[in-house]
Amino acid sequence: MEWFYTCCCVYLLAAFVSDIRSMKIPNRLTLPVTLAGATAHLAWGGWEGMVFSAAGFAAGFGMLFLMYVIGAVGAGDVKLFGGIGAWTGFSFGVHVVIYSILYAGVIGIIILLFRRDGAQRFRTVIFNLFGFFKLGSLTLVSQEKSLKFPFMLAVLPGFISSWIYMTT
């Protein structure tokens, strides 16, 4: 079973390079690797392996699709997490999503603090949070240019953290 995680790690390294270079994760990477994960589980675990892979795919794809709907990630990230889940299953896939979101938050705060307009952006975030708790309204996407970075900067450490957590 350990080699499934190793195959997934190779997949993530390829996605990492692509995302850093172009801020895109192409379908020619995500779709074949996802199908390979499902096929490998079917071959080694039969229908039980296929259900394991399908549940992982649904968890990763579904959770990231919700983030895509609100504009937090791109479509390539959604398919990437479907592939991660197809290789690693439901539990591991959920852990990768959670760790990746936490790492993305830390990276976002660091970038925010070191930008010239960081203080203004920080005030805007605080004001929006205050408005949410006081009035129940939250502006998810502001009119100004949003802060963007390759999500793979958070996914790779999220995967490694999940691997360490799940195997120790």
For 145-165, write each residue's pLDDT tens digit. 566 789 999 999 999 999 999
Contact partners, residue 135, CB within 8 Å, separation at least 6? none
Tell me, what amino acid is at 15? A
Contacts 24+ apart (CB under 8 A), 59-67: 59/85, 59/90, 59/93, 59/94, 59/97, 60/84, 60/85, 60/86, 60/93, 60/94, 60/96, 60/97, 61/85, 63/94, 63/97, 64/97
- Range of lowest pLDDT (5-14, 107-116, 158-167): 107-116
Q: Which comes out higher in pLDDT, residue 168 or 157?
A: 157
Confidence of residue 120 (pLDDT cuts 50, 70, 90): confident
**Residue 41, pLDDT score:** 95
φ, ψ at 141 (rounded to 5°)? -125, 120
